[in-house]
Amino acid sequence: MSGVGRLAGKVALITGAGRGIGLAATKRFLAEGAKVVLADIDLSAAQKDAELLKEQYKDSVTFIRGDVAKEKDVKASCQLPLEKWGKLDVALLNAGVSHLLQPWLTTDESVLDRILAVNVKGPWLGMKHSAAAMIASPHKGKGCSIVLTSSVASLYGHPAFSAYVASKWAVRGLGLAGAQEFARHGIRVNTVQPGATDTRVFWDAAPGGMQDKVAMGALNVMGRLADPGEVASVMLFLASDEASFMTGSTVAVHAGATPT
């Protein structure tokens, strides 16, 4: 299925594509005509979906296992679109992890190390190698788009979530710096700030007393969690040529959540 759609003719890389927002974005990108490389450290959770996508989209979808905190894995993921389809147009650097809400004074250093490795080093490496792959493509980067997944936590603080908040503010900064550095190549860089979304990353942060989805929905004015597809729709827009005059933007998808 190619030749029609908002991403027709585009080649995309999506990290953290094995579940949640990344998997939802993969489905949207493919449906809109893109060829997509799915990258994740664990694709087992998406095995059933992967088989269905492969059956439906044939050679327009391929998979690679990799750790976004390891440069050799990131480089391999970013080079695969060039090797398979001759170019890279879109990189959705979505992979991320969270941690259980816990007081700053009792948070172990290992928690911070893991969060920064995946959530900050990951997109830093992803931007480095995806931009290089875009510039090495026949279009030399012109018309390309990098989309980063930050968080509503990058718009304000959150108690008992210090490591995660720090990492997502950093992602926002990476997006702003990348927009300035890669504009001369024609590469746009924008950042999405999802609010409370029904994903494993979100629920991994919730202690036992917060497992009630109705209660969690009170975090925003719409009184519910986002479906991953709702966030993926915004990512699709930023990846497409419809957002051709957007770079350095931070786009909140948080149902009116504001700091208190």
pLDDT over 90 (residue 131): yes
**Other CB atoms closer than 10 Å to residue 211's CB: what's the count?**
10
Q: What is the pLDDT of residue 206?
A: 65
- At position 107, the amino acid (one-letter code) is T
Task: Say how far apart CA 151 and CA 12 lie, in whole Å.
Answer: 22
pLDDT over 90 (residue 139): yes
What tokens appear for 43 in the block? 């694709």
Residues that are catalytic = 164
Residue 74 and residue 64 in contact, taking contact as beta carbons nearer than 8 Å: no
**pLDDT, mean over the chain:** 89
pLDDT over 60 (residue 89): yes
What tokens appear for 91 in the block? 């990189």
| CB < 8 Å & 24+ apart, contacts of 164-168 | 164/98, 164/99, 164/115, 164/119, 164/205, 166/112, 166/115, 166/116, 167/96, 167/115, 167/116, 167/119, 167/120, 168/119, 168/193
Q: Tell me: the pLDDT tens digits for 157-185?
A: 888 889 999 999 999 999 999 999 999 99
- In the chain, pLDDT over 90 holds for what percent of residues? 68
In degrees and rounded to multiples of 5, residue 145 shows phi and psi of -140, 130
The pLDDT of 187-200, averaged and rounded, is 87
Alpha helical stretches, state H, the chain: 20-31, 47-57, 71-85, 109-116, 122-136, 162-182, 200-204, 213-216, 228-239
Q: Tell me: the pLDDT tens digits for 111-127?
A: 999 999 999 999 999 99
Q: pTM of the full predicted structure?
A: 0.91
pLDDT over 90 (residue 257): no
Task: Say how far apart CA 29 and CA 181 lie, in whole Å.
Answer: 26
Q: Tell me: the pLDDT tens digits for 16-37?
A: 998 899 999 999 999 999 999 9
Task: Say how far apart CA 82 and CA 66 lie, in whole Å.
Answer: 17
What tokens appear for 34 in the block? 């893109």
Task: Identify the sign of the CA torsion 18, 25, 143, 151.
Answer: negative
- How is 124-166 classified by DSSP, letter by letter? HHHHHHHHHHHHHSTTTTTTEEEEEE--GGGTS--TT-HHHHH
Task: Say how far apart CA 207 and CA 189 lie, in whole Å.
Answer: 34
**What's 197's DSSP letter?**
B
Confidence band for 2, pLDDT divided at 50, 70 and 90: very low
pLDDT over 50 (residue 51): yes
Distances (CA, A) of 43 to 17, 20, 141, 224: 8, 12, 29, 28
The domains found in the chain, sorted by start residue, are: 11-253 (3.40.50.720)
Grouping H, G, I as helix, E, B as strand and the rest as coil, residue 144 is: strand
How big is the chain by its Cα radius of gyration, in Å?
17
Most confident of 95-99, 193-197, 209-213: 95-99
